[in-house]
Structure 1
Amino acid sequence: MFNLKRSLSALVALILVSPWLHAAQLPEFTELVEQASPAVVNISTRQKLPERSASDPLMAPDLEGIPPIFREFFERGVPQMPRSPNGQQRQAQSLGSGFIISADGYVLTNNHVVAGADEIIVRLPDRSELEARLVGADPRTDVALLKVEGEDLPTVKLGDSENLKVGAWVLAIGSPFGFDHSVTAGIVSAKGRSLPNESYVPFIQTDVAINPGNSGGPLFNLDGEVVGINSQIFTRSGGFMGLSFAIPIGVAMDVANQLKSNGRVSRGWLGVVIQEVNRDLAESFGLDKPAGALVAQVLDGGPAAKGGLQVGDVILSLNGRPIIMSADLPHLVGGLKPGSKATLQVVREGVRKDLSLTIGMLPEEGESLASAGASGKEQSSNRLGVTVAELSEEQRKGLDLRGGVVIREVQDGPAALIGLRPGDVITHLNNQAIDSAQTFTKVAEALPRNRSVSMRVLRQGRASFITFKLSS
């Protein structure tokens, strides 16, 4: 017989218990935070600046009209700039986070947190402050290694970023907007993400709330192990929008170990310019689906040229690891040791074949990428932050150009801010035709300050004009 009273009692009990059951399935972070927080530090820097009058302020590049893309934290571009009583600027300050990886005082953070600093201060959770020495930094991965004097300092546990899975819970500790030891949590949204001008880092994407000041802080898994360094955000408003990016700890520790041992980082290099394979290209090359990296250019005398790689080859795998997107290739090649052997599977004229070659060494920042193999004339313009080379006769015929220069490398500077990439061809600058690398350098050096300058750029056969301003 139906018992209405008993059924109602059971329903009420179920309603009361359900929230508890749901809560029991959520992770508990309190113990993790208690154990990990002592090794997370606040990092502040000071940079001495030339004295300027109030009528001649420092100006940042004018980015008006540039679509919002992956923007770095405010520390890179908008430091605080206190003024002395007479109105002159004395120093710039920035704020970030870091974490201690060894009991004798080695600290990991982002390069952009400490870049250009004259003084670096590390503040521990007990509010004691230690002056840090910059052991080394790697702008390409945005990793910096610091050293403070100390013994038996608290340290973090290091995890394995390779085994991190999409959907896993992760937690960040840092100093957003200067609020020390703020804790935020979320999940891994994706792995192996490539960001503009960041070719050598397969970023971990999360939805953890990250804001200016979190930069350089640790990303933990539920075992309390560091799996990444919080580095960048995607934002249209300047604040958190649910898209945060961390450098995998495996990449960061490889960089840190090389900086500690050699003072520099060595990376593998093929000497090619590549592009994405879309559906139409895949069909034309006889591929079942879009995949791989299409070789658009092979640098003369480089590792790829010596190994027999040709323009038009589609690279499908490197040492057995598949290349799904073209951006996967720089990640994999950069992780190889110069001088090591590698096997590429390529599609050439519809036929798959394996090529064996020796990996070269990626040139240092500021050194010409093609100087290690190419014979063409090259010039580097520090004002724009690009290294360019003259087009070969074959390239000019293929692009139907009389002149122009091709970008070999984009360094930190205005070129990076306006979105230029290696492989772009510049045909006009400031309304002047560019017929050689020498002409490019001459025109670039004479560019006006604080006035819009136009540049005609050819990317994958499509030309467009972009504008920018150089700061004073």
Structure 2
Amino acid sequence: MTFTRNRRRWVIPIVILAAVASLVGLLPHFGFTGVSKAPLWTERPAAQSTTALAPDWVRLSKEAKPAVVNISTKRNTDGAAMPDLKGGRPGDRSPEDFFRRFFDEAPRRPVRAVGSGFILSADGYIVTNNHVVDDATAIQVKLADGRELAAKVVGRDPKTDLSLLKVEATALPVIPVGDSNALQVGEPVMAIGNPFGLEQTVTTGIVSATGRVIGSGPYDNFIQTDASINPGNSGGPLINARGEVIGINTAIVSQGGGSVGIGFAVPSSLAKSVITQLAEHGKVERGWLGVSIQPLTKELAQGFKRADATGALVASVVEGSPAEKAGVKSGDVVVEFAGKKVTKSGDLPSLVAETRVGSEVPMVVVREGKEVRLTARIARLEDEKPSRVAGSEGKGQLGLSVQPLTPPVARELGLKVNEGVLVRDVAEGSRAGEAGIRAGDVIVEVDRQPVRTVEDLKTRVDKHAKGAPMLVRVNREGSTMYVAIPAV
């Protein structure tokens, strides 16, 4: 399927959630409100590496299946069976919208949806995906022994697509939780779940990749596996050769709705911290730094005089944020945060989110080719943080048609009239167009120098050093990003 958005084309299969829905009548709402203060999961002591194990899937499946559950929900919702992602990439939507659209494409009607989950603790805590239970008016959990229990959501986290449920029961079977950080590509894994309503289905495969980004939100860090995952597997466990849960099956890439050997699971290392907070507070509190970041491509690295493309490029800094107070500037490249290396842009959001609110954290940025050490006091991430920042673009031989930034457009973007020039058109096949500049962008900088007028833009372009990529900062729909226009 082909997605188009603002003249850019993306060719990618459909990314869908592993849950399934069908029409039924509604059931009443059931609930439980207790919260356990005891540890919610068990862990096995460190032993032989899973890469050295020849898994006995028969034994492991017998041990794990009793703790895998079938989750059935009733809801009034939109009931399409497949998501339609035309008009943009998965990442163009909010995380919650991304994980809800499996159910959100037809007229609203009563639906029954099924998914999977696994028992985390003997006293009835169960882990599943948020999209399995989101907007449910009733939740029913069917255990492997045939019992059906009413469940209530203790807490949910749309940003990681995780939810914690609770049923009234004791002495339930559990699966130990392992360390996904120790996973290696090629390790054998097993998925158990309820695909298409077929309970207790077991499939096996390997870890195809780790740290995979699929555009679902700011904390993308999925395990990719070729173990068969289908609609209905959502929330079920991905298990290693030691019989430990190392991932929660969440989504697949597919053209037709079934498995093609590309499935994604939320890593257990991320799930542990989320589940702990959900059990204690019913929600997740995250740290907030106040920067907009983007990947540092090879071309951008050259523009910033970086020898390599490691780190997270700061596209903008929110006014009054911890980052601004710490001295972070747009154009900085974050290479270390809280003593941990930042090798790619996706590393930083998770590191910041996991940081305790109010703590002072050292960070290292590269600015103008030199390392700068800063300290930021982390604030609490609210549901919506206002961000006011600016952007940039190019003209003339670059293949751009630009005009002064008019007051109405400036007001809409939260800019001042003298804070950039508006791109009216981009010539097809031009250097600027190939680099990603679009009509409607507002150019605010060229080569780290401000652009306030059309004449400024002409001057910056004329003075640009030959043989080097041109670094352009643009405001696009209210967000700031850098674009590197390759040298001639």
Asked whether the two chains share a fold, i.e. TM above 0.5, the reply is: yes
* Alpha carbons of structure 1 residues 60 and 397: separation in structure 2 relative to 1, 3 Å: farther
Q: Secondary structure at the match of 2:422?
A: coil
Partner residue in 1 for 2:433: none
Aligned to 1:142: 161
Q: Determine the C-alpha separation between the residues in 1 that align with 2:131 and 2:347.
A: 24
Structure 1 position 401 matched with structure 2 position 410 = no
Contact 2:77 2:103 survives alignment (8 Å): no
Instruction: Give 1:113 shift.
Output: 0.2
Percent of aligned pairs sharing the same letter: 45
Alignment of structure 1 residues 70-85 onto 2, 5 Å: 76-79=100-103
- Corresponding residue number in structure 2 for 1:123: 142
1:317 aligns with 2:317: no
Residue 114 of structure 1 and its aligned partner are, at CA, apart by 0.2
Q: CA deviation at 1:305?
A: 0.4
1:370 to 367, 386, 396: 386
- The whole-number CA distance in structure 2 between the counterparts of 1:358 and 1:191 is 30
- Asked if the contact 1:231/1:245 (under 8 Å) is kept, the reply is yes
Query: Aligned match of 1:111 in 126, 130, 135?
Result: 130
Q: Aligned ranges for residues 350-369 of structure 1 at < 5 Å?
A: 350-364=369-383, 368-369=384-385
Paired letter, 2:62: E
Q: 1:74 to 1:459 in 2, by over 3 A?
A: closer
Match of 2:118 among 99, 106, 109: 99
> Are the aligned partners of 1:68 and 1:236 in contact in 2 as well (CA < 8 Å)?
no
CA distance in 2, matches of 1:276, 1:156: 37
**Other-structure match for 1:220:** 239
3-state SS of 1:200 partner: coil
Deviation of the 1:60 alpha carbon: 9.3
In the alignment, the residues of structure 1 paired with residue 92 and residue 204 of structure 2 have an alpha-carbon distance, to the nearest angstrom, of 21
In structure 2, distance between residues paired with 1:120 and 1:271: 37
Structure 1 457/300 Cα, relative in aligned 2: closer, same or farther at 3 Å? closer
Q: 1:161 offset after TM fit, Å?
A: 1.4
2:230–2:258 CA contact under 8 A, matched in 1 = yes
Say which SS state the counterpart of residue 304 (structure 1) adopts.
helix
**2:58 paired with 1:30:** yes
Instruction: Map residues 59-458 of structure 1 onto 2, 5 A cutoff.
Output: 63-64=85-86, 66=88, 76-79=100-103, 91-364=110-383, 368-370=384-386, 391-393=413-415, 399-401=420-422
Structure 1 residue 280, shift from structure 2 partner: 2.0
Counterpart AA for 2:252 = I
Shift of 1:61: 8.3
The residue type paired with residue 102 of structure 1 is S
Q: Deviation of residue 310 (structure 1)?
A: 0.6
SS in 2 for 1:280: helix
- Counterpart CA distance in 2 for 1:25 and 1:254 is 28
Partner SS, residue 61 of structure 2: helix
Q: Deviations over 1:53-93 (max 9, x none)?
A: xxxx98998644556889999994455999xxxxx975111
CA contact (8 A) 2:220 2:346 kept: no
Shift, 1:194, TM fit: 2.2
User: Is the counterpart of residue 48 in structure 1 residue 76 in structure 2?
Assistant: yes
Determine helix, strand or coil for the equivalent of 1:152.
coil
Distance 2:221 2:245 in 1: 16
Change (3 A) 1:358 1:456: closer
SS at 1:329 equivalent: helix
Q: What stretches of structure 1 of length at least 5 have no aligned partner? A: 1-23, 51-56, 83-87, 377-388, 404-423, 429-454, 463-472
3-state SS of paired residue (2:258): coil
TM-score by length of 2: 0.67
Equivalent residues of 1:425, 1:457 under 8 A apart: no
Give the TM-score normalised by structure 1: 0.69
What code does the residue aligned with 1:185 have? Answer: T
**How far apart are residue 461 of structure 1 and its match?**
6.9
Distance 1:280 1:49, change over 3 A: closer
User: Which residue type is aligned with residue 350 of structure 1?
Assistant: G
Give the AA of the match of 1:289: D
Take 1:171 and 1:346, find their aligned partners in 2: how far apart are those partners? 41
Partner Cα distance (2:331, 2:121) in 1: 48
Deviation at 1:187, TM superposition (A): 1.2
Q: Which amino acid aligns with 2:377?
A: T
The equivalent residue for 2:469 is none
Looking at structure 1, the residues matched to 207 and 287 of structure 2 have their Cα atoms a distance apart, in angstroms, of: 28
